[in-house]
Structure 1
Amino acid sequence: MRRWPRDIDNKDSNSLKEDIGKYYLTKPLQENINLFKNNILKLDDTVIYREFKNKKGDLKFCLIFIDGMSDREIINENIVLPLMKEDLNDQLNNIVDYVKEEVLIIDDVIKTDEIEKILKSLLYGDTLLLVDGFNEGLLLNTKGWQTRAIAEPPSETVVKGPREGFNESLNVNTSLIRRKINSPSLKFQRKEIGVRTNTKICIIYMEGIVNTKILEELTNRLDKIDIEGVFGTGQIQELISDSPLSPFKTIGNTERPDVVASKLLQGRIAILCDGSPMAITLPYLFIEHFQINEDYYDNFIYASINRILRVVAFIITVATPGVYVAFIAFHKELIPTKLALSIYAAKQGVPLPTVIETLLMIIVFEIIREAGLRLPKHIGAAVSIVGALVLGDAAVNAKFVSAPIVIVTAIAGICELILYEMNSGIIISRFIFLILASLLGLYGVIFASMGLILHLMSIKSFGIPYMLNLIDLDKYNIRDAGIRAPWWLLKYRTKFIARDKVRSKNYINRRNRE
């Protein structure tokens, strides 16, 4: 048993962390109090030290907790009050165990003397109970910080389906998922990442359905994370991604518990991070960009039409500016005569080449879009609409750009907004298409298309091909790819992702009989 070194003030932060893992509590109560007050948690006015005595046993106690992280009502009524009133004279030899088992009205109590373990629990809202003459303390679950109420997620508009979204509390978020999947196969594994923040995360999966190789790979990648602080799932997403340099994300994210629950049943894995309302899911396939939660609450015909429209919108937003520049600069003879004359008349007096016009208008559109997102909600929409109308009309009247360019840019921009979660990949791909089209015409568009397809084919998400549902034309995989088949046909999970492919109880029973 090692006591805390007296020269701790002269040690750096790394040595301090090593010392915390080596030392333990001692028997004198005042020494333990001084250990926290003058060394470990010194100069921290949020730490509360509540010393008191037992009326009948004359025993000295001390409670240590952090103001704002712990629930004072629980501390006063379930800890302080019972300890003051209980007759402890007959339990002096085994007072700590007696208090733990028969006095405290707390659902979670841990006995320990390890300073490292105590410090982690204190910083996360627990309370430490010290007893004079004993070198072991009790860690009491008194977490009680304020959390944001459960509300509709602002980043995912809900038309049909549940209107509850995650908040910043890890415990609340796990309970939301537990309410969706009432099964003992639903598993939660907690870890801590971040050298200084010790951020708590939770890995969620369905035992018996999840691919164990993917789960092992995820655990290995999380264990290798070496970063000072983690404040959200976005950092984790970047650190464990297969292709961090690709503009297309290989890990999904959502604020909706029903979306996470649905993906868990498909064999995917979810990660929640304390302090973040966003969950990440993996593996993530390219086709999932076009699948939204509303597809599974609408009629399958309407959902399939909308999904096809999203695929068309992706092609339009990426290729339209480049195709327009290619036709105007290299292939005028392919444009219908009346349309060519109209475009030629609109370009009269415009000093800039077509490719420069297009580049400038796309950049302006992205600036307006970003401004609309960052401004307060009550003025963001107005600024976006007024900015687009006023600037577009003024630019055309001033002969700074031609009217067809404004139309092309607006169509591409609107289609981009439909697929907002893919905006980085869309923006970069659109510029590549535009530059190659300005150099090689339609050949440039063809080369850009080939390059985009090859890039998407080369990406993997935790060993699963990114384009799986588009290159593997398995009859069960394609039923929930470009279209959504009716529910009675969705009997199987996606190939390679889930260990157990069968989703229907009748199919499982039939398979067992066979």
Structure 2
Amino acid sequence: MAQQKAVLTFDLQENTKKIKALFQGDATLIARYFENRADSSIQCCAFYTDSMVENKLFNEDVIQPIQQYPFGRRGAADFIDVIAKCITLSDSVDKTNEIDKLVQAIVYGDTVLMVSGCNEALILNTKGWLIRSIAEPEDEKVLRGPREGFNESLLVNLTMLRRRLRTTELKMQYRVFGRRTQTQGCICYLEGVVDKEVLAELENRLNKFSLDSALDVNYLSEFIGDAPFSPIKTVGSTERPDVVAAKLLEGRVALFLDGTPVVLTVPHLFIEHFQSPDDYYLNYFFASIGRVLRLIGFFLSLSTPAIYVALVNFHQEIMPTPLLISVAKARQGVPLPTVFEAILMMTVFEILRETGIRMPNSIGQALSIVGAIVIGQSAVSARLVSAPMIIVVGITGITGLLNARIKGAVIIIRFILLILAAIIGLYGYMFGMMGLLLYLLNMSSFGVPVLSPLSTAKLQEQRDLFVRAPWWFMIRHPHFSDQPKERAKNGKRS
């Protein structure tokens, strides 16, 4: 049998006691009592949460109009309707008698207005709290293009998205996540462009979300991802409105969450780790060079330690004689095997990088650079490691910074390749790379292969893969979009 919902009565004092009892111990709940100046029998009580209501708006749009309005000879039951239709200036007014809905409105920042003799209350939109100013995301800076980034306000973020997609096809569906936090979220997509199967699958996975809290989108990301134990993400994330708008135009779905500037996007392809907003704001020639450099950096960051260890330990005949002699001289007196050298120095480098991230910006970068120089020089002088290993680790670390968004997966794969190369040389390295390729080929994000469009064998969709083709050459939507129509007329000049 369903539990009966608690509702308001006609007694104002009893109603206020019920609300206060539910918020017992919460010092931020404000109960504001006032009455009509012409008729003192019209008693009112407004509940709201301190610092979540704009006081000027509350006083001018709610209290003052009610105090000054001549109600005349109306019944008590009509007061609520008169206030809702004729008095209050709030842009959003709802009426209910369910206490649960009133409590939820209060914690969301609305004002709940009760009137004596009425068994219903009004929910008024008087939200007004301080928010962080709009600034460019630190991790997604561009040389050219918009300087806006999302902040922690859901409504502000949705507004920034709406400014870029001024079309009725943009759909926004609100949802609530977390039984205790009641965090408001929003699913955004373009009707007619989005893959309906992806949208349905996302909604199905979100319906299974049953945590008591959702303080960040990572809570949702780990629930809806395709490979929860994989270091390679199948759910994208960004803090830039222009990036979200571009992904929606390609048929993807975006998931916003109040309280965080990060937005999730699905499906997420592996090539997106190497794409930057700069690629689409700069000339396609220079953008392509930058993307190729990021791809080369990814390969070097993964492979340099493993290839060096394999050559030194197993395949000296491949190395030029002068280089082999130089490496042999540098390793004289070093007590550690090459593989342990690499593991030690890579671990130290990652510790220094993590320390630099956690420290204040003013000293973080200096600490990382000075620490790396001092420790590297001291280790070589003490004959703990060889100078070539310092160079190898330096190349590995610097190239890894080109793709910071995938650094976690790179670190894990790098160590796996290093261990395989230390066991059976280049054969182990190649075996590891083939295993990585097969693993990626079997991965998907909401039914879309993560190696798309490479795995689709469609030339049109590979024009934004390793290089970025001119806009007049990219005239169709991705294959997972429900809109096969051309997105641009081919205006190529002869």
Note whether the superposition's TM-score is higher than 0.5. yes
Quote the residue 1:24 is aligned against: 7
How many angstroms apart in 1 are the aligned matches of 2:435 and 2:5? Answer: 56
Shift of 1:376: 0.4
Quote the residue 1:406 is aligned against: 390
Quote the residue 2:78 is aligned against: 94
Tell me whether 1:360 sits opposite 2:337 in the alignment.
Answer: no
How many angstroms apart in 1 are the aligned matches of 2:487 and 2:333? Answer: 66
Q: Which residue among 38, 51, 54 is the counterpart of 2:33? A: 51
Q: Which sits farther off after the overlay, 497-506 or 64-73?
A: 497-506
Unaligned runs of 5+ in 2: none
Instruction: State the SS of the aligned residue for 2:94.
Output: strand
How many angstroms apart in 1 are the aligned matches of 2:33 and 2:316? Answer: 87
Shift of 1:506: 4.7
Paired residue total:
488
Quote the residue 2:67 is aligned against: 84
Quote the residue 2:90 is aligned against: 106
Given that residues 477 and 487 in structure 2 are in contact (C-alpha distance below 8 angstroms), is that contact kept between their aligned partners in structure 1?
A: no
Quote the residue 1:74 is aligned against: 57
The 3 A distance-change label for structure 1 pair 137 and 480 is: same
Shift of 1:422: 0.5
Q: After the TM superposition, which residues 305-324 of structure 1 pair with which residues of structure 2 at under 5 Å, given as runs?
A: 305-324=289-308
Tell me whether 1:40 sits opposite 2:22 in the alignment.
Answer: yes
Tell me whether 1:188 sits opposite 2:172 in the alignment.
Answer: yes
Q: After the TM superposition, which residues 79-228 of structure 1 pair with which residues of structure 2 at under 5 Å, given as runs?
A: 79-92=62-75, 93-228=77-212
Quote the residue 2:402 is aligned against: 418
Runs of 4+ aligned structure 1 residues displaced above 3 Å come to: 18-21
* Matched letter for residue 51 of structure 2: G
Quote the residue 1:229 is aligned against: 213
Shift of 1:476: 1.4
Shift of 1:485: 0.6
Shift of 1:90: 3.2
Shift of 1:20: 9.4
How many angstroms apart in 2 are the aligned matches of 1:280 and 1:367? Answer: 28
Instruction: State the SS of the aligned residue for 2:130.
Output: coil
Deviations along 1:432-472, one digit per CA (max 9) or x if unpaired, are 00000000111100110111011111111001011111122
Q: Which residue among 458, 479, 484 is the counterpart of 1:501? A: 484
Instruction: State the SS of the aligned residue for 1:213.
Output: helix
How many angstroms apart in 2 are the aligned matches of 1:199 and 1:34? Answer: 27
Q: After the TM superposition, which residues 398-477 of structure 1 pair with which residues of structure 2 at under 5 Å, given as runs?
A: 398-477=382-461
Quote the residue 1:14 is aligned against: none
Deviations along 1:17-56, one digit per CA (max 9) or x if unpaired, are x99971111110000011111x211111111111111111
How many angstroms apart in 2 are the aligned matches of 1:74 and 1:177? Answer: 26
* Matched letter for residue 34 of structure 2: F
Instruction: State the SS of the aligned residue for 1:61.
Output: strand
Shift of 1:91: 3.0
How many angstroms apart in 1 are the aligned matches of 2:486 and 2:399? Answer: 35
Shift of 1:315: 1.0
Given that residues 472 and 488 in structure 2 are in contact (C-alpha distance below 8 angstroms), is that contact kept between their aligned partners in structure 1?
A: no
* Matched letter for residue 113 of structure 2: L
Unaligned runs of 5+ in 1: 1-17, 508-514
Shift of 1:223: 1.0
Tell me whether 1:243 sits opposite 2:227 in the alignment.
Answer: yes
Pairwise CA RMSD of aligned residues?
Answer: 1.3
